[in-house]
Amino acid sequence: MDSVDLEVLKSAAQWTRAGFFVTLGTVVRTWGSAPRPVGSMLAIREDGRLVGSVSGGCVEDDLIARIRDGEWPQDRPQLTRYGVTAEQAQRFGLPCGGTLQLVLEPVRDASRIPELLDAISQFRLVVRELDMASGAVRVAPGHRTPPLEFDGVRLITSHGPRHRLVVVGAGQLSKYVASMACALDYHVIVCDPRSEYADAWHADGAELSREMPDDLIVRLQLDSHSAVLTLTHDPKLDDMALLEALKSPAFYIGAIGSRVSNARRRERLSLFDLSSTEIDRLHGPVGMYVGARTPAEIAVAILAEMTAIKNGIDVKQTFALRTVDASVNDDAPACRSTA
């Protein structure tokens, strides 16, 4: 789930434990040009303090005013709508024709927010089902369902890391990649069997594996919500991971290195039981062209490309390759510029 929504749930749980009356707001439907997508969340407590967002700010202002006036669900969830008329759209800062519908849910012990957070912290994917009539909540193991389903009777939301990223190599660059990927809702596993690297490596929210990369990838049984990134420059590790990853349904497989290094890598891979189609799935040199030079900038370039592909953008058509001097920085991502 999105890191902002995770902050919303954590705040709701903390405020409830502290004795505040808290309401959870979730965007369940939009029409026209709504400012925030379905599934966006906020938590607002009785004194008007809030975390999260469901609009550009004006809807939040109205919600704060309503809670201070006592117009708030006390026992059961309720629906509310903004932007039904042109006057409301203008008043609440919605785009022309934009309308959004919110479920406002009073947070109680029965809301099972701590149980939900515990499952998320263990990298489990779960679904939360809210009964609109009674306010009863059910939390159960989930799978990669749509982020939100709402039929007016039940609100079903999916929580937990919906995507998984395996990073081969516990180096400096992998720390930036792991941190950014965690913020983008990935379950990140950094793999490095070399003790001289793994012993000193740490990034909040990421898991460290000392397995051989090919063994890890086979064990994980990668699916279409998985990505693999090799960052060691060591063919004994990178190539082993790629040999397994390129045969999997993973949506993204990338390898760091210069054009020359990647050409040689493709030649090596062609000597094994990989088809040309499978080898062509490899992104390398890796990343979008953003003029990156520092490890943090290179991580931005890599995550930008990964995000584009995850969202269905054809980066090969959108970006054209540019020639660079690979001797400047062999760690530099692919140099791509807007065509």
| CATH 3.40.50.970 corresponds to the domain 163-338 | no
**225-239 pLDDT, tens digit each:** 899 999 999 999 999
Distances (CA, A) of 234 to 49, 230, 285: 51, 9, 15
Write down the pLDDT at residue 91: 65
Of the chain, the percentage scoring pLDDT greater than 90 comes to 60
Confidence of residue 2 (pLDDT cuts 50, 70, 90): low
Which residues of the chain are in CATH 3.40.50.720 domains? 163-338
Q: Which residues pair with 29 in a beta bridge?
A: 101
Residue scoring higher pLDDT (264 or 321) = 264
According to the model, what pLDDT value does residue 336 have? 37
pLDDT tens across 92-145, in order? 666 555 788 999 999 999 999 999 999 887 778 889 999 999 999 999 988 666
- Residue 332 confidence (pLDDT): 42
CB 140 within 8 A of CB 160: no
Alpha-carbon distances of 300 from 179, 185, 307, rounded to whole Å: 11, 15, 10
Question: Residues 45, 15: contact at Cβ < 8 Å?
Answer: yes
Chain-centroid distance, C-alpha 324: 31
**Which pTM value belongs to this model?**
0.66
* pLDDT greater than 80 at residue 85: no
Q: Report d(CA 214, CA 142) in Å as an integer.
A: 27
Residue 220 has pLDDT above 60, yes or no: yes
Say if CB 134 and CB 155 are below 8 A apart: no
